[in-house]
Structure 1
């Protein structure tokens, strides 16, 4: 076999390692069995909003109508100019669970989103905090119950699942693939005692732990990272749990055009360079081997012998079957419908997108929170 074929098999074995060590054990994990139903702890839900009136009118009611006795919803209104303040004041009069905090000015050298979260944490009356975004809606009225039940005495962080509503067109399928793969990575790694990130659209942590670890100190001026960088800095195998119950997922509407999506991903990908070296290496190894498989398969078609291309194609097919099993079981666990026949196409485009846009994002210093 040529050097090209050997490199392909080596990349395949790396992918097989991730499948067997992380993905397969995780997708058969039943978190519903781990719920602590003996104690209902008081909870504070924190949502930050910057000119999000339209989304708040659609989604806030889902947070206020949770089947949970003792909780409050803290809405941090960050300098909104779209009528958010006036509307929230009316809602607050009608619902005792809602607590509104208005921010008129953000300190210099402090990212607005992180400042808003910090203010929300300090104003929270309860120890258990659940965070989401104004454009998100819980999948059920049991969201608080499912997420909060995983806070045992030793657990300080709970990583939840946040997905996007299914839409039409290739962009929607691409976003769903990317979101599912991201969830698969950070949740399976956490399940195997290597937590490295979470998503701010669905995450929980203890107020005392956030304050004890000095919150966003050290990266408070960076746009993004209020979820993944904070988790990367503070999470470990002993203090972190995952929640994958279909009742505890949050959903939001995906970007409707490529320009909006690319701006969003530029913000997300730009913080990866601040991860711990061990996490950057592990993620880099996964994405590099994922990309290399596609590149080498194409080159084998052009440069390799017919026999070698056949062997590599069969190996590629074997990997693809494994992917189908993982994504299918993952979508079943989450209670969603994923169009699996798009899997090879979306992954092919993803590998190019990840490297091109990821490098560009890592070189970008300034982003605006819109």
Structure 2
């Protein structure tokens, strides 16, 4: 059993070390005011974001990007709060090009994928930029996307997302774990085997979206507006996806407020795994799960004296050192390196959590935005 655990953790460590090296090689864009601006259509699917939407719209209004070269399209997904009214009020006082669409006006259209698709079909821009209603953006967000578009000529750009605020221990542990996901996703793109990205910070050619038939083929999965599209664009345009490794591109989003909300969010993410057609994504999911189960089994074996503690220490060290190396890079981008001191604590709670979410993800049943959802 120990040999199997060492093997699985070693494979995991090798993958993470490769990711760490790939992250270091991702170029950092240098913003230039002379870069020709593309026209961006910013798509924001929203549901019950009355507490957040105005702050996001103000961030977009403050973009250091030519006002003539971007528009904002908010697509309301049957909100039950004041979100639409707030957007309408903002429309009346801004000079920014702002459109409000209602998913209710399109029969049979519900949930985030449909909202994004409707927004794209009404978009004037050659490039689509996506974010969520509870996010915050830097003033150089669009400028950074445009710089990468010009310098690297990609079909899709995945952007970094970080949790904020991170004042409590609960928020800090979430931020640390989420940063690892961002790092792995960025590294997988860098080695041209993209596995994951985040729809809160994503840009792509509108033509590429239609060339891969958008979200067609995975409509039965409520989530996945980001990763399924990532896999489809990579399949059609290999090597033409890049990651925006720039502080100006970072999008902030709040961590889950409660344990229940957190678990439902992670089950929602895990429910996509069984629908992945990308073998690299499937293999990575299995390796991560196998390595974490190995750590749990070995540590429990040491507790019950099945083998010495030093063997458990070797297994744990083999996993945690590569994690620390990658996280140090990602947290450096976010300006949150101090969170690395919590890695030992995260490891203790992460193992049972990932096993639980993997099992619940196979069921595909969860609550989100006031809805009971289930993958087909």
TM-score by length of 1: 0.89
Distance 1:34 1:155, change over 3 A: farther
Give how far 1:184 is off.
1.5
Structure 1 counterpart of 2:147: 149
Structure 1 counterpart of 2:373: none
Distance 1:214 1:348, change over 3 A: same
1:62-102 deviations in whole A, cap 9, x for unaligned? 01210001211111223334233332222212223232233
Provide the rounded CA distance (Å) in 1 between the counterparts of 2:33 and 2:169. 40
Distance 1:45 1:107, change over 3 A: closer
Distance 1:114 1:35, change over 3 A: farther
Provide the rounded CA distance (Å) in 1 between the counterparts of 2:60 and 2:337. 24
User: Which ranges of structure 2 fall in alignment gaps of 5 or more residues?
Assistant: 371-376
Give how far 1:359 is off.
1.3
Give how far 1:107 is off.
5.6
Structure 1 counterpart of 2:292: 290
Give how far 1:40 is off.
1.8
* Matching of residues 55-94 of structure 1 within 5 Å: 55-69=52-66, 70-94=69-93
Structure 2 counterpart of 1:356: 356
Contact 1:245 1:334 in 2 (8 A): no
1:309-330 deviations in whole A, cap 9, x for unaligned? 3255246335433432321222
Structure 1 counterpart of 2:265: 264
Give how far 1:10 is off.
1.5
Distance 1:157 1:19, change over 3 A: same
Contact 1:35 1:146 in 2 (8 A): no
Contact 1:142 1:247 in 2 (8 A): yes
Contact 1:56 1:135 in 2 (8 A): yes
Give how far 1:342 is off.
1.4
Distance 1:61 1:369, change over 3 A: same
Structure 2 counterpart of 1:200: 199
Provide the rounded CA distance (Å) in 1 between the counterparts of 2:247 and 2:312. 38
Match of 1:26 among 23, 27, 30: 23
Distance 1:304 1:35, change over 3 A: farther
1:103-155 deviations in whole A, cap 9, x for unaligned? 152666644211111111011111111100010001x2001111222225851
Provide the rounded CA distance (Å) in 1 between the counterparts of 2:226 and 2:302. 41
* Matching of residues 297-336 of structure 1 within 5 Å: 297-306=299-308, 309-314=309-314, 316-317=316-317, 319-336=319-336
1:147-205 deviations in whole A, cap 9, x for unaligned? 22222585111111111113344421331122112112111111111012221100011
TM-score by length of 2: 0.88
Provide the rounded CA distance (Å) in 2 between the counterparts of 1:342 and 1:210. 40
Distance 1:310 1:191, change over 3 A: same
Give how far 1:366 is off.
6.6
Give how far 1:61 is off.
0.3
Give the match's secondary structure for 2:128: strand
Aligned length: 364
Contact 1:5 1:300 in 2 (8 A): no
1:195-233 deviations in whole A, cap 9, x for unaligned? 122211000111111122221112224211111222123
Residue 48 (str. 1) matches residue 45 (str. 2)? yes
Provide the rounded CA distance (Å) in 1 between the counterparts of 2:241 and 2:359. 30
Provide the rounded CA distance (Å) in 2 between the counterparts of 1:40 and 1:332. 29
Give how far 1:56 is off.
0.9
Structure 2 counterpart of 1:114: 113
Match of 2:282 among 280, 283, 288: 280
Give the match's secondary structure for 1:339: helix
Distance 1:313 1:341, change over 3 A: same
User: Which ranges of structure 1 fall in alignment gaps of 5 or more residues?
Assistant: none
Contact 1:43 1:71 in 2 (8 A): yes
Give how far 1:47 is off.
0.8
Provide the rounded CA distance (Å) in 2 between the counterparts of 1:196 and 1:321. 22
